[in-house]
Structure 1
Amino acid sequence: MIHRNAPLTPTGRLRLARCVVDEGWPLRRAAERFQVSHTTAARWAGRYELHGPAGMKDRSSRPHHQPRRTSAAVEDQVVRMRRDHRIGPLRLAVRAGVAASTAHRILQRHGMPPLASCDRATGEPVRRYERARPGELV
C-alpha cells in the first residue's frame, strides 16, 4: 500500500527508472524532475536494472528470516503448559525458561486469550453480551 505522502507511485517509479536507465538521464536531474532525493532515484533505478518493471512494486519491511526466534519446541511447550495448567505468562516463563514477554507473545501468536477472560472450570473464553433491557431476546 502506498503511503499517502509518498512522492512516487509504482508508475512514477517506473517512469523515473526508465528516464535514468533507458534514456540516460543524469541521476540528479531525474531526481530533481521527480522531486525525490538522488539516493531514492538511485534505489529505483537499481531495482529497475535488476528486476525490471516488477521491481517497482512495494516490498514488505518484514525480515526475511529471524535467527533468534523462539524454537517451535519451546512454543509447543508453552502452549501445552498453558492448556494443562491454566497459568499466566509469568509462571509459564519460569517453567519454560524464557522471558515473560516471550511467553506472552507466544500466547498471543497462538490466539490464547488472557486468563481473566477465560472460564476457570473449562478454560474456554467467556462470551458475554449485554442488552438494553432484561428479557429483550424473549
Structure 2
Amino acid sequence: MRTERRILGLRISRRWGPARIAYRLGLAVSTVQRVLTRYGAPPLRFIDPATGVRVRSSRPAPRRYEHAAPGDLVHVDIKKLGRIPDGGGHRVHGRAAGRAIKKQSKPGYAYLHHAVDDHSRLAYSEILGDERKETVAAFWTRANAHFADCGITVKRVLTDNGSAYRSHLFAETLGETITHKR
C-alpha cells in the first residue's frame, strides 16, 4: 500500500513514466505499470505536460446503434472461406504431398452467407458453393422464412455493394415491403 502511494505520488508530482518510477524506487517496470493501470492512470501521451490534465481519452467512444424492434434492420453479407483439405495442406505435409492432396479434394472456396437481425442478434447462416445472384436470392428467401418462423417481420435489409445484392433478382426477392439499404 505504501509502495503504491509512492508510485502514484511520483506519477502525479513529477509526471514520470513507469520506467523512471521503477528505477527511482528500485522496482520492476511491470510492477509499476500494473499499479498505474490498477488505479486508472492514463498513459503519459494523453496528459498535458504542463498541467498534468488529461488531454484526450485513451480510446474514442465507439459509435453504437441498435434498432428499436426486431426486423427493423437485418444485416446480410457473405464471407469467402478457402477450402483446406482434410488433414491439412502443403504447410503440414510439404509441397509435393500438398499437391497430391489437392487433386483428391475439391479446391476453391466455400461461401458463408449470413443474415443477422440488428435488434435481437438472431442469425441465420448457410455455407453455399458460390455468391451469384441466384444463390443470394434463394438464400434470402430461406433466411426471411426463418425470421418469419421466429416471429420477426423484416422491414429493412442492409448489404454491401456486392454485385449479387445490386441485381434486379435480389431486389425482386426482397419485394416492395422490404427496403434495401446499401
Shorter-chain TM-score: what band?
Answer: 0.3 to 0.5
| The structure with more helix, counted as a fraction of residues | 1
| The structure with more strand, counted as a fraction of residues | 2
Normalising by structure 2, what TM-score? 0.30
Work out which structure has the larger RCO, using CA pairs closer than 8 Å and 6 or more positions apart in sequence: 2
